[in-house]
Amino acid sequence: MSASDRFIVAVAVAVFRDGRVLAMRRAPDKDAGAGAWEALSGRVLPGEPPLAAASREAREECGLEVAIDPRPIASYHAKRNRDDMVVVVYRGTSEAGDVVLSAEHDAFDWMTLDEFSRACPFPQLVEAVRVAAALAPLGRPRLEIVYCTQCRWLLRAAWMAQELLTTFEAELGEVALRPGTGGVFEVRLGEDVLWSRQAQGRFPELKELKQLVRDRVAPGRDLGHSDNK
C-alpha cells in the first residue's frame, strides 16, 4: 500500500463538565493540526473497536475518568495532511478530577459551546459537539409524549409532560412533545412504550403514569398520594 492509499480511522470524544466541553490544543510540534484547538481525539489502533479507542484515548490524553455513551453521535470524513480519515464522535462526562496532558497537547480549557465554536477550526467537529451538547444527559433517559394534533391533545400532553418533569426532574434527562396524527397518544421512555391509547383504549390517569415512570427510573420511590390506589 502506498502512502497515498492510507486511510485513517480516528475517534473524538466531546467531554462535558458543568455545561462546558473539554478543549485541547495540539502541541506545536505535531505534524497535523499543530496549534489547533480540538476535542479529545486520537487514532483507532488496528483491530481495536472505536469505543475501546475512545476510552483509551480518554485515559491517555487527559487522565480523567470519563463516562462515555457507547452510541456514537456522529461520524464524518476529513483529511489528515494528505490522508483520508473518518472520525467517529462520542460524548462523555467527567464530574471531577484534574486534566493531565500528554505530549499530544500543550494546553486545555473547559469552554462554552460558543467559545469552542470560535476556537476550533474544524467545522464538522464543532457541529458534532453541538449535537452532543443537545442530547439528554448521560444515564438519564428521554421521555417522549406523542400526541394527535388533529384531536387537539396538545394541552393534555403538555400538562402530563409538566407533571412528569416536575416529579422526576432529577431522574429524566429530557421530556419532549412529538406531534402525531390518527388518534395517537403514546408515552415512551427511551425505546419502550409505557402507554398507548390505542392498546389500552383510554388515556392514562396521571397517578398510574407516574407509577409506570417511577418503576423504570426510580424503583422503590414513594410517590405519596400518587401511590394510593
Nearest Cα to Cα of residue 142 among 81, 213, 92: 213
Domain boundaries in the chain? 3-134, 142-227
Q: Is the pLDDT of residue 60 over 60?
A: yes
Contact 42, 77 (CB under 8 A): no
Cα–Cα distance between 114 and 30 in angstroms, integer? 26
Fold of 3-134: Nucleoside Triphosphate Pyrophosphohydrolase (3.90.79)
Cα–Cα distance between 93 and 9 in angstroms, integer? 23
- CATH number assigned to the domain with residue range 142-227, chosen from the 4 options 3.30.479.10, 3.40.50.620, 3.40.30.10, 3.40.50.300: 3.40.30.10
Contact 217, 171 (CB under 8 A): yes
Instruction: Kindly give, in sequence order, each residue whose CB lies less than 8 Å from that of residue 130, ignoring residues fewer than 6 positions away.
Output: 113, 117
Q: Is the pLDDT of residue 12 over 90?
A: yes
- Full-prediction pTM beyond 0.85? no
Instruction: Kindly give, in sequence order, each residue whose CB lies less than 8 Å from that of residue 49, ignoring residues fewer than 6 positions away.
Output: none
Residue with cell 418503576: 215
Q: What amino acid is encoded at 20 in this protein?
A: R
Mean pLDDT: which of 3-7, 11-15, 137-141 is highest?
Answer: 11-15
pLDDT tens figures, 189-217: 988 999 999 999 999 999 999 999 999 88
Domains 3-134 and 142-227 in one fold: no
pLDDT tens figures, 154-183: 999 999 999 999 999 888 888 999 999 999
pLDDT confidence of residue 182: 96
pLDDT tens figures, 109-151: 999 999 999 999 999 999 999 999 887 677 678 899 999 999 9
